[in-house]
Copies of this chain bind each other. A is one copy, B any other.
Amino acid sequence: MILDSILMVDPLEGEFTGSLEIEDGKISRISKRERSWSFIVIPGFFDPHVHGSFGADTMDLSKKSLEKMEEFFYAQGVTSFLPTTVSCSLEDMLKALDVVEEYMNGRDVTSVLGVHLEGPYISPEKVGAQNPEYVREPSEKEINAISENDVLRLITMAPEIEGFSEYSKTLMNKGVVISMGHSNAKFEHVKKAYDMGVKRITHFPNALRPLHHREIGITGAGLYFDDIVLELICDGVHLSPQMVKLVYKTKGADRIILITDAISAAGLKDGVYELGGLRVFVENGVARLSNGSLAGSTLTFINAVRNFRKFTGASLKELTRVSSYNAISNLSIENLGRIKEGYIADLVVLDRDLNLIATVKRGEVVYGKIS
């Protein structure tokens, strides 16, 4: 397949025009030429924090649900994602890991790159929309059990909980990335984790101890340390547009990872849904528990990207950083996320207004049409 007369945007090299050739699922040749262009081609989106969509949920513990999610996400430009759990029993965590492993093993090509466990080792004071019934401290037994399966890529834990230092080391030694989240941590807790190499925060600054000028806490620490990367839910609800811009201004596009945190209600009508055993009420697309807590989102990834552009005025190059490259680098995934010869041909085709025209997965058009 050849894409011609396009504007390509690479997260490191920026914008260039010309043509791009795909062979065997990879970018085989890029010809840079000064010329007019009709479409923008950027790396496919990566959503490392997404619970579900279109009625399907990671916690369904079913391959069918993963398949539905994958299909739905193609329509948003997402070519990689981590199905994300919520706080649950050890049994269900292990099942979720097994189901994802089977699903991945059963397919030559898949967007599923592993699992993100959100909880249960989080702060009881910052549960957000997690079910408090399952929130607990980690134990050697549980940590050993969950880290046996290689598909575990990312885990959200609160750095102030008992055992964090010990168990995060165990997990990091197995290649699992730790993200601090659902946390009431003070600055000193975060600094300790940071010094150990923990440099990521989950859906900043939702479900985090807020910034106070005499104890800047985990929210302040996320802004303070240059090289902590922050997940952001850019639906305009979880954070105001001004907050998104302030984070962008303080951290720069290189330290932001867009996520949807979408739940099974995404893509469906307003109504009553379920998340981790809790009832979720979706009104005007905003998902809340009965107590008013935000409960994930119904955001689509393409809209997250468009919102980020609108809120911050970020360049196209910066959009490729926040929509895939930063997440990919953070998880040390190779040969993905660049417009470069030899890289996997996971691509998104956009028009000038950033409308999604087509999604390409391993060289195949899986959504839309390339004329």
Contacts and interface: CB of A to CB of B under 8 A. Distances in A.
Contacts of A99: none
Interface in A180-223: 187, 205-206, 210-216, 219-221, 223
Contacts of A221: 242
B187 A213 contact: no
Contact of A211 (B210, B224, B237, B238): B210
A216 B250 contact: no
Interface string A227-258: 00000000001111011011001100000000
Contact of A212 (B210, B216, B250): B210
A211 B243 CA distance: 9
Contacts of A223: 246, 249-250
Contacts of A213: 205-206, 210, 219, 238-240, 243
A291 to B, nearest CB: 16
Contacts of A238: 213-214
Contact of A224 (B224, B237, B242): B242
A284 to B, nearest CB: 15
Given A215-B240, A250-B250, A224 B210 contact: no
A215 B243 CA distance: 8
A274 to B, nearest CB: 25
A242 B223 CA distance: 10
B245 A224 contact: yes
A243 B214 CA distance: 7
Interface in A304-320: none
B243 A216 contact: yes
Given A213-B206, A213-B238, A249 B250 contact: yes
Contacts of A240: 187, 213-216
A259 B52 CA distance: 52
A214 B239 contact: yes
A75 B221 CA distance: 37
Contacts of A216: 240, 242-243, 246
Interface string A259-277: 0000000000000000000
The 9 A-B pairs of least Cβ separation, nearest first, read: A213-B243, A213-B239, A216-B242, A205-B213, A250-B250, A224-B246, A211-B211, A214-B240, A216-B243
Given A187-B240, A214-B237, A215-B240, 5 more contacts: A206-B213, A214-B238, A214-B239, A220-B242, A249-B250
6 contacts: A213-B219, A213-B239, A214-B237, A214-B243, A223-B246, A223-B250
Interface of A: 187, 205-206, 210-216, 219-221, 223-224, 237-240, 242-243, 245-246, 249-250
